[in-house]
Chains A and B, each alone.
Chain A
Amino acid sequence: MPSTYTSSGHEELDILEERRQSGDLSHALRTFSPQPYKEKPPCSASDLSKRTLESQYLQYVFKEIATESSLSMEEVKEDARLLLEEMSQNLQLGFIRLMGYTLSKVFKRLYTNIYVNMEGLNMLQQAIQESPVILMPTHRSYIDFLIISYVLFTYDIPVPVIAAGLPLAGMKLVGEILRRSGAFFIRRSIGSDKLYWAVLSEYVKTIVRTGFAPLEFFVEGLRSRTLKSVPPKLGMMHMVLEPYFKGEVFDITLVPISISYDRVLEESLLAHELLGIPKPKETTKGLFKATKVLQEDYGCMHVNFGQPLSVRELCQGKINRSQYNLTPRDLPKVLSPDVQACVIWLAHLIVRIQEEGSYISPWSLMACVLLQCPTSTLTERGMVWSELKDRTLWLKKLALRFGAHLRWPEQVSDQNVLLSMVALHHSIVAHKGDRVCLVREEVPIRKHRLSAEEEVNRTAVAMLMLASYRNQSLHIFLRPAMLATVIQVTKSTQRDELFTFFCFLKEILSNEFIFVPGKSTQDFEEACFLMKDCGAILFSPEEVTVTEAGQEVVSFLCAFIQPFIRSYQVMLDFLTEHEIKNISEKELHLAVRSFVIKLILSGELQTYEALSSDIQKNILSALRTLGVLTKFRGSKDNEYQVDKAAVKRINDILYGKLPPQLLHRTPYAKL
């Protein structure tokens, strides 16, 4: 539904507005009496831990572990108690108030507005009384972490308990404050630690079963480094759904939440990380250092609470709940295929809904346009302002046609809108005369001359930041862009052929972008429909042809997705040309980097995104699911084995040298 935030019928309230007019202290100390879940009377945080530890399921697991190891039941139980202690939240209203007070101050400084859709909030309020609610926000920034609690506190809705990464708990003081604001902490790599899995899953399930509080978790698992959606993590998703599958609750409500930012707090940090500069450890000191970041303007933020989804309705016909009838439900059991498929499907569906619900800013469209300008022009002379403006306005129309939620201020002239965007993003672009050029990091004074490689990195940081903002509107253009690419590469008009290539592309890119499993036909049809709707193509049951007027759209879309395709080709080239038999993951990435830098320096490659460790990781995972690449756990590091012929074949198809083949995909690994 094409709509701007002001003209749409939905009521979007700026929650900062009131904060600017009345005192933060009285907000923090307001009467907080939310309507809780009707089914169960409230229980305390310590009750929750006690119930978890005494659950029948954990007794089974303790016994299993005690039998397998040399530990006694008591010892296993004690281990579990310690794990639970490390994990558990300790939600207290006093700390919510403290958090409310602090966040009011911080948010007012950082953001001009925080828009929240009231309709979604009202639906949520209703849903919370009916069944256990799972809040599932997107994860693009650390800010995501507490904004939901802040909004819910403001609107008298029960505040959630939140699944957080364990490193946060390690931060002095802050960890404890978070814990008391409802955060519970999960280790980053659990691997095959059976006891940990069991304790965590029972803890999560107990929260859902008792309706203790809404449960908030990031289905993408990690904060996205690239501002595009991350393939969902399935373990937590399954834990949350299981109480419904087993009939322990009547229904569960999933609420996808899309949090969109004009400008992301961590933008440059993320770009550095993608280039291989590791993320600093989360420390309290680091946080204070970051206060420098707090002096800047980050524009506005948009929290869009999606339509609450009934798990019961979603799973209708997908799950046979009576499969649990013949064994005790508490018995640890291998997941059945229908449960696995359903969890995978639901997790992807939620991410897609998050994408659909997110708002994009004019800046994202500008980033799309800027990225299609040669990098050398951008870094040196810059792009002509009028061209940038015209292209962006053209793209605005296309985006609206494709159904984007675009946040485009209406009372302001287009010229001023775009100018304000450039001003907001002064860390990436600068307006010089009638041109806009890329801002690169300042050269440290003590260095007189940078090596060629360092120059590349300097440009790459800015380019990756730009690419991240482009990624905010990725979901709008992705499917038509894939179709455009397919048309361009195959040069075919036959619908069958196009569809086959489309599916091939989807397989290759399945770790890069989010596709709901088993929906290839719908994805293809959606692409065809959108392209037809904007007059770019004509299609019949057999044929798809590009119209005269559609050339512009097709070439824009091809260029839009080109950086990804090109990066994949480069990576595949690398894998065919190099021997990587005994190589650690880290060494591999370094090798790819220097390969890419060489290509960039030689002028053969323009695509700086090929340097992104994210893309490299994604293609390796894609090749693994296709069975072309195997990863071993070596003595000290991972080792790879590559089927070079197969890699070459894939690359040839991607270049259009070979007709596409159906790829054989290994089924999803166990949850």
Chain B
Amino acid sequence: MAANSSSDRQRAAQQRLQIIAGHLQRPTNYQPDITAAECKAQEGNPNVSNEERTVPRRRQDIMKWNGWGYSDSRFLFNKKGQAEFTGKRYRLSGMIIPGLKDWMEGTFGASLQHKAPATPILNSTAVQPATINEAFVEEVKATTIPFSVEAEDRVFRAHGHCLHEIFALREGKIGRVPDMVVWPSCHSDVVKIVELASKHNVCLIPYGGGTSVSSALECPPEETRSIVSLDTSQMNRILWIDEKNLTAHVEAGIVGQDLERLLNESGYCTGHEPDSMEFSSLGGWVATRASGMKKNIYGNIEDLVVHVKMVTPRGVIEKSCQGPRMSTGPDVHHFIMGSEGTLGVVTEVTLKIRPMPEYQKYGSVVFPNFEQGVACLREVAKQRCAPASIRLMDNEQFKFGHALKPQVSSIFTSFLDGLKKFYITKFKGFDPNRLCVATLLFEGDHEKVLQHEKQVYDIAAKFGGLAAGEDNGQRGYMLTFVIAYLRDLGMEYYVIGESFETSVPWDRVLDICRNVKARIIRECKDKGVQFPPLSTCRVTQTYDAGACVYFYFAFNYRGLSDPIHVSEQVEHAAREEILANGGSLSHHHGVGKLRKEWMRETVSDVGLGMLKSVKDYVDPNNIFGNRNLL
């Protein structure tokens, strides 16, 4: 333990030193933000303030280079062997989580004695030297758009957050990375960069929040041209808000939390809250067809987008007006949404906005078993009375959520908890190994929320559901925000895990949940995983004709020579199982390179041909060469 904390301290000290060094010797490539100022001038006076930026150009200053999220926030086991979440950013920050250790040991057979520490700092010599296209660099310099060829900047943009990507970083293994990073500040910067890239035959890979879980950001190893990562993070302003039509025009690099915070300042919100919203960007949402937790009220990204501007090697594509619906042939927005960076860069988006809700209320319902829970969600969807969010966690995930309960200070609360548990398991006869919980989030007018709440609880009661309090609900949502931090903790102790999702018709929901979970368990066993894996799912979205199901699986990889290969095989098998059971290839994660092999069967030969012909027209020289999707 002592050795660990000293290495932690060492790491922190080294990081600090780097930051200071960074401040002292700004690389010569960095230019002052003159161009950015020019951009602002071009656009006229933006009526929204934009002082705080969450994402700096040097992401590594505030974020982990080999894990999820902020450097200051992470799970660890303290000297007493209790789990703790560091930092000050989250509700859970600074809290002790007493149940986590037992849960980890019990679920995975993991032990605090067996650690698998990560490589603490990036070894720049492990990074391939950059393939520089001199002529391109010269011309970029002339535009004064900032860029970098530093190893740290390049490595940070060479990955998303798939397990294999993070695992490799932790082991200090670096594959093909971009040769250069550019930071355009506005639409016209992007136009210039794309023109230059086309002129000099340079491969461009757009980079937004870097939260991809589809291998979409991985540089194709076969790419011989210079690869330039186009980081949109500095294009992060709200350009205008139209209160008459309730729309906002926003630069595509803005990350979810900034967009929401800034709009809130003006009394509005988009209501688009994907689980990654702290870090994922508006452009990324558009490019991957993102879905937000509260889509029942606000809609998914395709419902929110009114207008998009995208820069392609052929030029800029955009519609001529902001009509709310058009019958003008196939909607060209649908070539853009889900194009995953293969056609161009989304630079500006006009989005629907809503006045901020007056009232928000969490809730939860316990069901005797998963079947009853699904039946209830189906009924809620049928009556079209779904709250802003309704999710159903299975028994394993319920227990997982329970393990994340922070230490309670008062004896009274723990007494109440005990009483609640007694009531549900003993008095109501719910089997603790079968029961499952639905988490709810209501939004709107105070009165309507209460009315709505009653309606939903009444339906739940018909399916044997018991209201189980706001606290359980809120913790359920917290789980999705901290899950990626938890994965980093797991990796410290030989536990690796991944998540994936699908959408499926209602009558298939139970079957797909059962079969995919069972397939994961069987595959793990066949592949020599020593302990039974965690294999769990939740129904996260409801639609008229079906639902979105989200799976987690994780296992203790001690004794395996190539754990990542095993994990990939298991995920592959699970996806095959999903497709065989009538599930889709993806509900909102996208295809990237991870799921590309199934595109043909997913959209048919002709469908794939259509997409290819669009690509061939828009980008004949494959400037946007991330090779996603097709």
Task: Give residues in A with beta carbon < 8 Å to B.
Answer: 39, 41, 247-248, 250-251, 320-322, 324-325, 328-329
Q: Which of B512-526 contact A (CB under 8 A)?
A: 512, 514-515, 518-519
Q: List A contacts of B369 (CB < 8 A).
A: 41
CA distance A250 to B518 in the complex (A): 7
- Flag if A39 contacts B507 (CB, 8 Å): no
Q: Which of B574-630 contact A (CB under 8 A)?
A: 579-582
- Flag if B580 contacts A250 (CB, 8 Å): no
Q: List B contacts of A322 (CB < 8 A).
A: 579-580, 582
CA distance A21 to B582 in the complex (A): 56
- 14 A-B residue pairs with Cβ-Cβ distance under 8 Å, sorted by A, are A39-B514, A247-B508, A247-B511, A247-B515, A247-B580, A247-B581, A250-B514, A250-B518, A250-B519, A251-B518, A321-B581, A322-B579, A325-B582, A329-B507
CA distance A41 to B515 in the complex (A): 18
- Flag if A248 contacts B507 (CB, 8 Å): no
CA distance A39 to B521 in the complex (A): 14
Q: List B contacts of A250 (CB < 8 A).
A: 514-515, 518-519
CA distance A325 to B578 in the complex (A): 11
CA distance A251 to B514 in the complex (A): 11
CA distance A373 to B377 in the complex (A): 75
Instruction: Name which of A41, A247, A328 has the most chain B CB atoms within 10 A of its CB.
Output: A247
| B contact residues, total (Cβ < 8 Å) | 13
CA distance A251 to B515 in the complex (A): 8
Partner of A324, one of B512, B518, B519, B582: B582
B191 to chain A, nearest CB (A): 43
B520 to chain A, nearest CB (A): 11
**Known contacts A247-B508, A247-B512, then 7 further A-B pairs from the complex at CB < 8 Å, ordered by chain A residue:** A39-B514, A247-B515, A247-B581, A248-B511, A250-B519, A322-B582, A329-B507
- Flag if B580 contacts A321 (CB, 8 Å): yes
- Flag if B518 contacts A247 (CB, 8 Å): no
Taking CB as reference atom, which chain B residue is nearest A330?
B507
CA distance A486 to B514 in the complex (A): 52
Which label, helix, strand, loop or mixed, suits the secondary structure of the B interface? helix
A245 to chain B, nearest CB (A): 10
Taking CB as reference atom, which chain B residue is nearest A245?
B580
How many A-B contacts are there with CB distance less than 8 Å?
Answer: 25
Q: List B contacts of A324 (CB < 8 A).
A: 582
- Flag if A328 contacts B507 (CB, 8 Å): yes
CA distance A290 to B579 in the complex (A): 57
Per-residue interface assignment for chain B, residues 499 to 538, with 1 indicating a CB less than 8 Å from any chain A CB and 0 otherwise: 0000000011001101100110000000000000000000
Per-residue interface assignment for chain B, residues 254 to 288, with 1 indicating a CB less than 8 Å from any chain A CB and 0 otherwise: 00000000000000000000000000000000000
CA distance A329 to B581 in the complex (A): 11
Q: List A contacts of B580 (CB < 8 A).
A: 247, 320-322
CA distance A322 to B582 in the complex (A): 6
Q: List B contacts of A321 (CB < 8 A).
A: 580-581
B369 to chain A, nearest CB (A): 8
CA distance A247 to B576 in the complex (A): 13
Taking CB as reference atom, which chain A residue is nearest B517?
A250
CA distance A455 to B453 in the complex (A): 90
CA distance A320 to B581 in the complex (A): 10
CA distance A266 to B512 in the complex (A): 49
A150 to chain B, nearest CB (A): 32
Q: List A contacts of B511 (CB < 8 A).
A: 247-248
Q: Which of B360-392 contact A (CB under 8 A)?
A: 369
Taking CB as reference atom, which chain A residue is nearest B514?
A250
The 4 A-B pairs with the shortest beta carbon distances in the complex, nearest first, are A321-B580, A250-B518, A325-B582, A247-B581
A324 to chain B, nearest CB (A): 7
Q: List A contacts of B519 (CB < 8 A).
A: 250
CA distance A273 to B518 in the complex (A): 49
CA distance A320 to B580 in the complex (A): 7
Q: List B contacts of A329 (CB < 8 A).
A: 507
Q: List B contacts of A328 (CB < 8 A).
A: 507
A247 to chain B, nearest CB (A): 4
Q: List B contacts of A39 (CB < 8 A).
A: 514
Taking CB as reference atom, which chain A residue is nearest B434?
A41
Taking CB as reference atom, which chain A residue is nearest B431?
A41
B595 to chain A, nearest CB (A): 16
CA distance A248 to B508 in the complex (A): 8
Q: List A contacts of B579 (CB < 8 A).
A: 322
CA distance A324 to B581 in the complex (A): 8
CA distance A124 to B483 in the complex (A): 39
- Flag if A247 contacts B582 (CB, 8 Å): yes
Taking CB as reference atom, which chain A residue is nearest B583?
A325
B396 to chain A, nearest CB (A): 14
Q: List A contacts of B512 (CB < 8 A).
A: 247
Taking CB as reference atom, which chain A residue is nearest B510?
A248
Taking CB as reference atom, which chain B residue is nearest A244?
B515
Q: Which of B559-584 contact A (CB under 8 A)?
A: 579-582
CA distance A133 to B514 in the complex (A): 17
A564 to chain B, nearest CB (A): 44
Taking CB as reference atom, which chain A residue is nearest B511?
A247
Taking CB as reference atom, which chain A residue is nearest B512?
A247
Q: List A contacts of B581 (CB < 8 A).
A: 247, 321
Taking CB as reference atom, which chain B residue is nearest A328?
B507
CA distance A41 to B464 in the complex (A): 16
CA distance A248 to B514 in the complex (A): 9
Q: List B contacts of A41 (CB < 8 A).
A: 369
B514 to chain A, nearest CB (A): 6
A339 to chain B, nearest CB (A): 14
A328 to chain B, nearest CB (A): 7
B331 to chain A, nearest CB (A): 24
